[in-house]
């Protein structure tokens, strides 16, 4: 069964970023009023950079906000491909510099060896997550749940009670750590945020049926968490 999906489509990137930023801040502010803390899982990649820059200037009590990435490349934290470095440089500054950040990367040599420490870190995040912000690749991947990988199928499995899962990728590509599907869905809402006609077509295909070759379809075809799409050309 497919959950309730709200589609927000915009004329420009500026109008999308303004609306998405307002929606995120409203939810975080409400959480802080209701229970004195808030939590959010963040995507990386180039798309959310301007959003994070704008959020970093918003005036809330960031010291009561807990943040973590949905996934991480297994590289050093000063590496150009580190999601943590990206989030630190775009969001964890200005007024948001005092937010709590929970790293998925440890000093372990591989994500498999680092999975226990990663799980312990994630357990310190307040749940349910107020927001999970997901991007989507042109292959239909979300977080580091790439299609046609055995590790991805394990991380998507309905009986997987782990919070995170190591992802090995072929041909020497960088290994990753990702939140499992079940953990991503221990949230109050999921925001799916991407640009362009090609990705919209992938999304529309994933909406028709759940399919292993489009991991995003597992997010769309569930009835636990509402999904909001934010899209523009």
Please write the tens of the pLDDT for every residue from 212-232. Answer: 999 999 999 999 999 999 999
Class in CATH terms, 5-207+221-232: alpha beta
What's the chain's average pLDDT?
Answer: 96
Residues 6+ apart with CB under 8 A from 80: none
Residues 6+ apart with CB under 8 A from 26: none
pLDDT number for residue 45: 85
Give Dmax (Cα) for the chain: 48
Note the pLDDT tens digit of each residue in 137-149.
999 999 999 999 9
Residues 6+ apart with CB under 8 A from 47: 135, 193, 194, 195
pLDDT(196) > 80: yes
pLDDT number for residue 46: 86
Residue 2 pLDDT class (50, 70, 90 cuts)? low
CB 2 within 8 A of CB 207: yes
pLDDT(1) > 90: no
Host H or E run for residue 193: strand 190-195
For residues 132-158, one letter each, b for 16 or more C-beta atoms within 10 angstroms of the residue's C-beta and e for the rest, the string is: bbbbbbeebbbbbbbbebebbeebbee
DSSP code at position 77 = T
Note the pLDDT tens digit of each residue in 143-189.
999 999 999 999 999 999 999 999 999 988 999 999 999 999 999 99
Q: Measured between alpha carbons, how far is 136 from 219 in angstroms, rounded to an integer?
A: 11
Domain ranges of the chain: 5-207+221-232
For the whole prediction, is pTM greater than 0.85? yes
The share of the chain scoring above pLDDT 90, in percent, equals 97
The share of the chain scoring above pLDDT 70, in percent, equals 99
Helical residues (DSSP H) of 61-208, grouped into ranges: 83-90, 111-123, 150-156, 181-184, 197-208
């Amino acid at each position: 069964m497919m959950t309730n999906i709200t589609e927000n489509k915009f004329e420009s990137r500026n109008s999308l970023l303004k609306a998405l930023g307002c929606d995120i801040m409203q939810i975080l502010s409400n959480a802080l009023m209701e229970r004195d803390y808030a939590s959010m899982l963040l995507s990386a990649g180039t798309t959310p950079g301007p959003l994070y820059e704008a959020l970093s200037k918003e005036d809330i009590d960031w010291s009561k906000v807990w943040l973590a990435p949905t996934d991480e490349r297994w590289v050093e934290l000063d590496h150009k491909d580190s999601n943590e470095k990206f989030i630190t440089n775009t969001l964890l500054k200005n007024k948001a510099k005092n937010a709590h950040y929970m790293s998925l990367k440890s000093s372990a040599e591989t994500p498999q060896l680092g999975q226990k420490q990663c799980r312990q870190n994630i357990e310190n995040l307040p749940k349910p997550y107020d927001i999970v912000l997901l991007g989507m690749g042109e292959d239909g991947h979300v977080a580091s749940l790439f299609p046609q990988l055995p590790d991805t199928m394990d991380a998507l499995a309905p009986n997987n009670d782990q919070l995170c899962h190591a992802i090995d990728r072929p041909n020497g590509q960088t290994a990753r750590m990702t939140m499992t599907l079940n953990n991503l869905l221990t949230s109050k809402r999921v925001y799916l945020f991407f640009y362009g006609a090609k990705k919209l077509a992938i999304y529309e295909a994933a909406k028709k049926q759940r399919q292993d070759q489009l991991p995003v379809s597992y997010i769309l075809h569930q009835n636990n968490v509402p999904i909001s799409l934010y899209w523009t050309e």
